[in-house]
Amino acid sequence: MAEQVVGEVTAPGIPSATVARLPSYLRALRDLVSRGVATTSSVELAELSGVGPAQLRKDLSFLGSFGTRGVGYDVDSLAQYITEALGLVDEHRIAIIGIGNLGHALANYSGYEQRGFHVAALLDASPDVVGTRAAGLVVEHVDALEEVVEREKVSIVVLATPAAHAQAVADRVVAAGVREILNFAPRALQVPPDVDVRGVDVGSELQILAFHSQARALAESQGR
């Protein structure tokens, strides 16, 4: 996942490693809801989430005490509780900057609404792209960034610009008052300590897999 976190405001004692896993639990719970399952156990939920049962129980213990001993967890209420803990009760409005291949795909990604997000604006610097429609929105010029952020009450920005422009755009995003950035550009962003940046870089992920692939090949050639 995500690879870089800056300026994390650590909340009421919830470890950030725990926070990073809450979305997986929520996903698994919603899956159970949709399958009509009413109750689950730490073993089942952990398996669906890809973690160990002890980890799951420990994580949930930071949020409160939500299961019934000897029985398990109520799927609906646990889902509701995690939703609240993540702060997804009121909608978060996001702007996507950089409507190239990736930005376009991100704009069309369905499932924002279901997860508590609303794509409020799309921005790009290219005259060829500005004015076109995508995902039901007209792409606006990135020069209007500050105005758009205020008008649309944007609290999260998704950066999908070319790497070369990412830092400059990020500086303006921060200046406009946004404190949460999801960065898809293959560059580490310099931001003030009170801004959170999460970075997603496909190239890096592939390189990490390549390392493990090589390690396996090496282990096999030496082990036998």
Q: Are 172 and 144 in contact (CB under 8 A)?
A: no
Alpha helices in the chain (DSSP H): 16-34, 42-49, 53-63, 75-85, 101-108, 145-151, 163-175, 202-223
| 216 makes contact with a copy of itself (CB under 8 A) | yes
Please check if 223 is assigned to a binding site.
no
d(CA 24, CA 30): 10
Under DSSP, is residue 99 helix (H, G, I), strand (E, B) or coil?
A: coil
Question: Considering only 57-65, 79-87, 121-129, 169-177, which stretch makes contact with a copy of itself by CB under 8 A?
Answer: 79-87
Q: Which of 82/148 has CB closer to DNA? A: 82
Angstrom distance (rounded) from CA 32 to CA 39: 9
Give every CB contact of residue 178 below 8 A, 6+ residues apart in sequence.
Answer: 149, 154, 155, 156, 157, 195
Give, in order, the Cα–Cα distances in Å from 170 to each of 3, 96, 100, 125, 188.
Answer: 17, 12, 17, 14, 11
19 binds a copy of itself, rule: CB under 8 A: yes
**Is 99 annotated for ligand binding?**
yes
Give whichever of 70 and 110 is closer to a copy of itself, judged by the CB atom. 110
According to the annotation, is 67 in a ligand binding site? no
**Contact positions with a copy of itself (CB under 8 A) in 150-179:** 155-156, 158, 179
101 binds a copy of itself (CB under 8 A): yes
Distance CA 93, CA 13 (A): 26
Which of a copy of itself, DNA, none lies near 42, with the C-beta cut-off 5 to 8 A by kind? DNA
102 is in an annotated binding site: yes
Interacting residues with DNA (CB under 7 A): 15-18, 40-43, 51-55, 57-58, 60-61, 65-73
Minimum CB separation from a copy of itself for residue 91, in Å?
Answer: 10
Stretch that binds a copy of itself, among 13-21, 62-70, 122-130, 145-153 (CB under 8 A): 13-21
**Under the criterion CB under 8 A, does residue 48 sit at the interface with a copy of itself?**
yes
111 annotated ligand binder: no
Q: What separation, in Å, do the N-terminal and C-terminal C-alpha atoms of the chain show? A: 33
Residue 209 makes contact with a copy of itself by CB under 8 A = yes
Residues annotated in a binding site for NAD(+): 98-103
